[in-house]
Structure 1
Amino acid sequence: MTVWDRPEPPTRPVPLDRERIVAAAIALADEGGLEAVSLRKVAARLDAGPMRLYGYISTKEELFDLMVDEVHAEILPEEQLGDWREVLRILAQRTRQAALRHEWLADLLGGRPTLGPNGLAVTEAKLAALDGLADLDTVMRAVETVSAYFTGAIRREIANLRAERATGLSKRDWQRASGPHVRRMLATGRFPALAKAVHDGTEVDAEASFATGLDWVLDAVAAKLARPPA
C-alpha cells in the first residue's frame, strides 16, 4: 500500500495532516536541502512529537515522495496548452523553474516515477500531448528523451549554483581564477578543438542554454514523429 492509499489517523490535540507535514518538510528542504529534512525535525517544526508523524508517513523516503508530488502541482500549468511541442516545452521549463525555487528537487528528479496525483497528472499531460502521433513505444521513448534532457540540464545548473555558494566564486570569478591554468594547457597544442571553443565560442546564460538544448531535443522528436512507420 502506498502512502497515498493509506488513510490518515484521527486528529489529536495538535492538528496534523499530510498536507501540513509536507509543507513543513518542503520549508526545511528549501532552507537547508534534503539533509535538513527528518521526521524529527519536521515534527519539531510542527510542535508535535516525532512518533505522531509515523501515523501519517512511515519513512523519510515516503516523505520525499510526497514532497516531490507537491512540487509537481507547481509544474502543472493552469491554462490549456497547445500542440505536443508546446506541452513538452512548457512542462520542461516549469520543471526548471520549480527546481530553481526548490533546489533539492534536482536531487530527486530522474529516480523512480512519482505515483502521486500531481506527478501522474504531469505524466498524463506529456503522454496525452503525443497520443495518436506515433505508436506507443515511440511516444514513450519521446517523453523519456525529453525528460532525460531537462533532468540532466537542471541538475547541472543547480550543481553550478551550489558550487558558486560553496566557493564564494561566481562563474566569472572562477573563470578568472582558473584562466592561467587553462591558457597553459591550451598552449600545449594538445586540445585544438577545445581551444577554438574557448576563444571563439559565444557564452550564453543558463536559461538561454536550457531553451536552446530543449529546442534541439524537440526538433529530434519531431523528426522521429514525421518518419513513416517501418
Structure 2
Amino acid sequence: MATESTSGGDPARTMALLWRSPDGAGRRPGPRPGLDVDRVVAAAVELADREGLAAVTVRRLAAELGVGAMTLYTHVPGKGELVALMHDAVLGELYPEPPAGDWRARLTAVARANWDLYVRHPWAASVGTGRPVLGPNLMRRYDLELAAVDGLGLSEVEMELVVTVVGGFVRGTVGGLHDKDAAERDSGLTEDEWWAATEPLVDRVFDAARFPTAARVGPVAGNELGGYSPERTFEFGLARLLDGIAVLVER
C-alpha cells in the first residue's frame, strides 16, 4: 500500500520544481545560495534510504541540513512536492545505457533495473504513482521502457500494458523482500531461526489429513527454498511473465 504519493502536492508547483523552472526552483537574483532544490532532495533521499520515508519531515530535514524550517519552505513548499522530487531523482539512476538485445533481453533488463532501484531505495516502491506529476526522469524511464517493446507488432495500448504489467510485477515482488527484511529486523531472528522456533508450535496444530496438499508441498518447498525467497520468486515469476508476453508477441 502506498504511504505517500507523487501527486500529493500542488501540481503546478511540483511540475515547475521537477523541471527546475525559474518560477518553481527557488532561484533568486544575485549570488547562488548555499542551499538549493538539488541539495534538499539529495538530503531527503539519503534520509529516506536510512530511516524510511516517514522520517522525512520538514523539521527533520531542516535539522539535517542545518537550516530553519522556514528556509526549507522557500525551496520546497511541502512534503507532497518533496516526495515527487525524491521519486523522480532516484528514477534518474535507471538505464545509464538503454536496454539492449532482443525484446526478451530488453524486458529482463527493465525488470532487473527496477528491482535493483527498489532494493537501493526501499521507500520508492511504496510511493503511489497512480496520478504522477511527469518529471524528466519519469518521462525518460517511460520512453525507454516503451522502446524495449517497440517494433514487435504490438499496438500502442499493448505496449503500454506490457510495460505496466512488468513494472507492477517488480513492485509487488520486491515488496516481499522488504517485508522479509523488516521481519528479520523487528524480530531479531533470521528466516531459519524463526522457522526453527515456530515449527514445534505448528506441529501441535497441523493436521496433514485436513491439509494434504500443503503437507506434501510445504516441506519440499521449504527445504528447497529455505523459507520464503523473494529473489527466487522474482526470477521464476519474471521468466513466466516473459513466456506469457511471448505468446502475445508471436500471435
Aligned twin of 2:136: 117
Q: Which amino acid aligns with 1:170?
A: T
Task: Note closer, same or farther for the CA distance 1:158–1:111 as it changes in structure 2 (3 Å cut).
Answer: farther
Query: Helix, strand or coil: the match of 1:78?
Result: coil
Deviation larger for 78-87 or 61-70: 78-87
Deviation larger for 163-172 or 43-52: 43-52
Aligned twin of 2:157: 137
Could you state the TM-score of these two structures normalised by the residue count of structure 2? 0.82
CA distance, structure 2, for counterparts of residue 140 and residue 106 of structure 1: 20
Query: Helix, strand or coil: the match of 1:74?
Result: coil
Write out per-residue CA displacement over residues 101-145 of structure 1, whole angstroms, 9 at most, x where no aligned residue. 222122216544462211211111111111232111111111111
Asked if 1:70 is matched to 2:94, the reply is no
CA distance, structure 2, for counterparts of residue 106 and residue 184 of structure 1: 38
Asked if 1:38 is matched to 2:60, the reply is no
Identify which of 180, 193, 214 aligns with 2:238: 214
Q: Which amino acid aligns with 1:164?
A: E
**Contact between 1:68 and 1:114, CA under 8 Å: does it hold in 2?**
no
Deviation larger for 49-58 or 36-45: 49-58
CA distance, structure 2, for counterparts of residue 77 and residue 184 of structure 1: 54
Task: Note closer, same or farther for the CA distance 1:188–1:180 as it changes in structure 2 (3 Å cut).
Answer: same
Write out per-residue CA displacement over residues 16-35 of structure 1, whole angstroms, 9 at most, x where no aligned residue. 11110011001111221111
Query: Post-superposition shift, 1:79?
Result: 5.7
Aligned twin of 2:18: 4
Write out per-residue CA displacement over residues 46-68 of structure 1, whole angstroms, 9 at most, x where no aligned residue. 22221222232222021111111
Larger RCO (CA under 8 A, 6+ residues apart): 2
**Contact between 2:58 and 2:79, CA under 8 Å: does it hold in 1?**
yes
Q: CA RMSD in A?
A: 2.1
**Superposition pairs of residues 82-97 of structure 1, within 5 angstroms:** 82-97=101-116
CA distance, structure 2, for counterparts of residue 110 and residue 155 of structure 1: 15
Q: Which amino acid aligns with 2:51?
A: G
Q: Which amino acid aligns with 1:148?
A: G
Deviation larger for 37-46 or 158-167: 37-46
**Contact between 1:106 and 1:155, CA under 8 Å: does it hold in 2?**
yes
**Contact between 1:109 and 1:151, CA under 8 Å: does it hold in 2?**
no
CA distance, structure 2, for counterparts of residue 38 and residue 192 of structure 1: 50
CA distance, structure 2, for counterparts of residue 117 and residue 13 of structure 1: 23
Q: Which amino acid aligns with 1:4?
A: L
CA distance, structure 1, for counterparts of residue 250 and residue 206 of structure 2: 43
Asked if 1:196 is matched to 2:216, the reply is yes
Could you state the TM-score of these two structures normalised by the residue count of structure 1? 0.89
Large movers: runs of 4+ above 4 Å: 11-14
Q: Which amino acid aligns with 2:239?
A: D
**Contact between 2:107 and 2:149, CA under 8 Å: does it hold in 1?**
no
**Contact between 1:110 and 1:151, CA under 8 Å: does it hold in 2?**
no
CA distance, structure 2, for counterparts of residue 105 and residue 97 of structure 1: 11
**Contact between 1:87 and 1:125, CA under 8 Å: does it hold in 2?**
no
Asked if 1:21 is matched to 2:40, the reply is yes
Residue identity (%): 36
**Contact between 2:176 and 2:230, CA under 8 Å: does it hold in 1?**
no
Deviation larger for 52-61 or 101-110: 101-110
CA distance, structure 2, for counterparts of residue 222 and residue 109 of structure 1: 29
Aligned twin of 1:179: 199
Asked if 1:107 is matched to 2:107, the reply is no
**Contact between 1:110 and 1:148, CA under 8 Å: does it hold in 2?**
no
